[in-house]
Structure 1
Amino acid sequence: MTRQKTPVDRASELARRIWLAGVGAYGQAYDEAQEQMSRVNEETSKVFEELVNRGETLEKKLAPARERVTQQSDKALASLEERLERMRAMFGMSGNDPDLARKVDALTAKVDALSAKLDALGAAGAKKPAAKKAAAKKPAAKKKAPAKKAAAKKKTAAKKR
């Protein structure tokens, strides 16, 4: 004999079935997610390998150009260093001079000493202004009136007549 299901039993059975449907949906979603992750993992590995291969191909193509650029850069650097060394030699500042540091230190000391002397002279000059001597005045020379030769000749000519 089958017992008649009451509304409470039917509600419990319905709730259980809804629960089982949810668990089943979760299980199905989990399985699908696992499959997708596996595919993504495989695809990622493939894409990564393709990128590595492409990078190696480009590296091989660019190696000669990189070598040329490196050689030209080395030549330019060597030329620049040679020019700098010639300029240093012209100014007596060759990098090969073992006494260069000592010479620079000596020159620095001289410049410092001269600067101190100039500062002292400037300070002394500011304290005592130099007395200015008045220049002796010379008497102004009198200008002579220009001689009237033409008029004098006329007078003598008039007397002779």
Structure 2
Amino acid sequence: MSEESDKKPENDPQLAAKVKESARQIWLAGLGAYNKAEEDTGRFFERLVQEGEQIENKTRGVVEKQIKSVETRVDDVRQRATGTWDKLEHMFDERVSGALRRLGIHRREEIEALEQRIEALESELKRLRGKGGADEEE
């Protein structure tokens, strides 16, 4: 009976040592895999960050070009609109001035010019009267 118990696998010292060594190797392989995964994760993360920065730089350039393009277009439209508005304003002023002239209403500049001429004539008249009065007294 003792021979039968010696032949059982759980009683075999070599088999037990092999199982123990296999378990240790599996454990060490697991530790190595964990360590490798941790290292690879760090490098992988760094690589992802670098790629993200590259993509950001590329897209930033594209976006900046698009923004400049839109700004240029807006400036062109603004200039055209301003030019058109100035032309319309000028045409409106001319038409209003023409209508007022036809109605006999003079522009402010014309009235101011006439007032200046009247003042100049009054001054000249006073000066001439002053000379004339001095001649009459002699």
Name the TM-score class by shorter chain.
0.3 to 0.5
TM-score scaled to structure 2, two decimals? 0.46
Structure with higher helix content: 2
TM-score scaled to structure 1, two decimals? 0.40
